Amino acid sequence: MKTFNNRQKFYSILILSGLIFLGSGCSKFASFTKESTAPSTCADQVIARAFNLHENAKSGLALYFEERTENQLYQAYYAASDSVFESRKVKKCWDRRVSHYYAMQNLQEMNSSIARVIKRNMPDNDRGEMISVYRNQYDWLMPNLR
């Protein structure tokens, strides 16, 4: 029978306490980083990205009405179209459910509504062309304009 000497006992206690210390530290690691260790699904991630883009479109439209800068309007339009494009990717996910399909449909409807509002507020490219088309009809009203 083999007996342990003091040095071997010390090393075994040191290794055992180190393993316990590391094990308890790793269990606290997930709460320290505030990230979930559970795997997230493909469809959930796609819908979350599409919803974030939808929120960006809504906030861009709100900023346009507040600041009246065309840049915000164009960014909101592209965010809405990107949200629709992103939501369609849920069809390619292996773990999609009926709820994901309904979420995709809802996002497409909401984004198309936002896009309609944005299109109504977009400036015309050349307002001078419309004026020149109708100018000849109203010459008799203002003859001194030419």
Domain ranges of the chain: 42-122
Does 17 score more than 90 pLDDT?
Answer: no
Q: What is the pLDDT of residue 68?
A: 82
Structure tokens at 34: 């505030």
Estimate to the nearest angstrom the gap between the alpha carbon of 113 and the chain centroid.
17
Phi, psi of 123 (to 5 degrees): -70, 150
35: helix, coil or strand? coil
Q: What is the pLDDT of residue 5?
A: 73
Higher pLDDT, 49 or 126: 49
State percent of the chain over pLDDT 90: 14
Q: What's the whole-model pTM score?
A: 0.58
Does 50 score more than 90 pLDDT?
Answer: yes
Does 51 score more than 50 pLDDT?
Answer: yes
